[in-house]
Amino acid sequence: MRRFNRYLAVNVLGTTLAVLAVLVGLDGLSTVIDELDDISPSYRFIDVLIYVGFSLPRRIHEYIPFAALIGGLIGLGRLASTNELTIARTAGRSLPQLAVATLQPALLLAAAGFLVGEFIAPVSEQMAVSHKALTQEGQSSFTARGGVWNRDGSTFIHVAAVQRGGVIHRVQLLTFDEQRRLTRSLRAERGTYQGDHWLLEKVSRTQLTAERAVTDRVTTEVWDTEVTPELLALEVVALDSLPTRQLWPYARYLRNQGLMYRDVELAFWRKVLQPLAVAGLVLVAMSFIFGPLRDGNLGARIFTGVIIGVVFRISQDFFGPASLIFGLPAILAAVIPILLCYVAGLWLLTRQP
């Protein structure tokens, strides 16, 4: 039966990869269409394609659970429609043995997705965001759609773009006193990290007092701060694109700064538990083939699987903000949708005649 296990695994893995390619392709095409509104003389169509291309690893990592669900439905459905699964069970293969054979390619894909999310997506996503920010030179550094905000004590920091190698662009520092009144503003075109400080270039400084504001310009200025390029790189991309090895320390840093950190913890647990989510969704897919829905046609199964995937995503989007509002542990918000998948899958499987 090892040959049948390999045959089943290749079938499920092949359909899952095909579904993943379709989902990522559709999402990338949708992003290209959305980005067309931002095209300008500096941000051209080729820049849109580069931006979307660099963001593909993040999209692959994001869609792996849903691809595993739909791919498992299609792969197992094809084998069921040709009675190959029936023959395998008649030959003595039990349902748990088929479940293990089905989960193996799914977990292999989940492991590959974890590696992509851990080592490739963070780098490529930073390159995507930086490329877009650098090509949109004509936009203000205070645009709500780009850049990154940070805080160092009483100074608030905004950076339009962060490049690998410790280079930042269009920097703004806003310093407040204990009464939360703005006392100093600084703008710099560029900053380079020197190991223990930043060297800002083309600097415009404004000192504010109760009577007046004094502005001067200097070529360079040293900026001593604990904010490092690694920290800025963490904040310039979406939380789902950050590696798990950096998310937890980042959450502790935000907590020490008195900033919101629970959303970072939630992103950490979601990434750590993604293999379990993949296994749970595949279990749901199996219940459609071996459970009470086995008599339905393939189209109905796929449609139901898509609905289950949407419900799973909605549950993630619900329990995540709910945990932030009510102060629940982030791990609980990440685990509940996965547990619902396992409960639903096992319940459907146990209802088979």
Per-residue pLDDT tens digits for 212-236: 899 999 999 999 998 998 888 887 7
Q: How many domains does the chain have?
A: 2
- C-alpha 163/C-alpha 186 separation (Å) is 20
Domain assignment present for residue 254? The answer is no
- The number of residues in the chain equals 353
On whether residue 87 sits in a domain, the answer given is yes
Q: Is 245 among the domain residues?
A: no
- pLDDT of the chain along its 353 residues, tens only? 688 889 999 999 999 999 999 999 999 999 999 999 989 888 999 999 999 999 999 999 999 999 999 998 888 888 888 888 878 888 888 888 888 888 899 999 999 999 999 999 999 998 998 889 888 764 444 443 467 888 888 999 999 888 888 999 999 999 999 888 999 999 999 999 998 899 999 999 999 988 889 999 999 999 999 899 888 888 778 888 889 998 999 898 888 878 788 899 999 999 999 999 999 999 888 888 876 545 556 677 777 777 888 888 888 888 888 888 888 899 999 999 999 999 988 887 777 55
- Residue 109: which residues within 8 A CB-CB, separation 6 or more? 13, 16, 17, 20, 64, 67, 68, 278
| Nearby residues of 63 by Cβ (< 8 Å), 6 or more positions away | 20, 23, 24, 27
Answer yes or no: are the C-beta atoms of 88 and 100 closer than 8 Å.
Answer: no
pLDDT at 143: 42
Q: Do 89 and 11 sit in the same domain of this protein?
A: yes
20 plus 128 within the same structural domain: yes
Q: Does 59 reside within a domain?
A: yes
> What is the SS3 assignment for 71-115?
HHHHHHHHHHHCCHHHHHHHCCCCHHHHHHHHHHHHHHHHHHHHH
Evaluate the CA torsion angle 172, 177, 179, 183 in order and state its sign: negative
SS3 300: helix
End position of a domain, from candidates 182, 208, 229: 229
Identify the CA nearest to 206 among candidates 253, 173, 181: 173
Q: Please, what is the Cα angle at 227 between 327 and 201, to 5 degrees? A: 140
d(CA 308, CA 285): 9
Indicate whether 12 and 101 sit together in one domain. yes
Do residue 12 and residue 105 come from a single domain? yes
Residues 128 and 275 in one domain: yes
Give the domain extent around 278: 2-135+262-350
Residue among 57, 75, 74, 66 at smallest CA distance from 112: 57
Tokens representing 151 are 């805080």
Examine the domain organization and report whether 9 and 108 are in the same domain: yes
The verdict on 19 and 106 lying in the same domain is yes
Which of 185, 212, 229 is where one domain is finished? 229
pLDDT of residue 146: 60
Residue 288 is assigned to a structural domain of this protein? yes
The answer to whether residue 236 sits within a structural domain is: no
Q: What element of type H or E holds 269? A: helix 262-272
Handedness of CA 67, 73, 76, 81 (dihedral sign): negative
Specify if 143 maps to a domain. no
**AA letter at 66:** F
Residue 63 and residue 126 in one domain: yes
Q: Are residues 110 and 187 in the same domain?
A: no
Answer yes or no: do 18 and 108 share one domain: yes
Of 176, 207, 229, the position where a domain reaches its end is 229
Domain contains 243: no
37 and 120 both lie in a single domain? yes
Question: In this structure, are 93 and 210 located in the same domain?
Answer: no
Q: pTM of this prediction? A: 0.84
Residue 349: closest CA among 290, 275, 276:
290
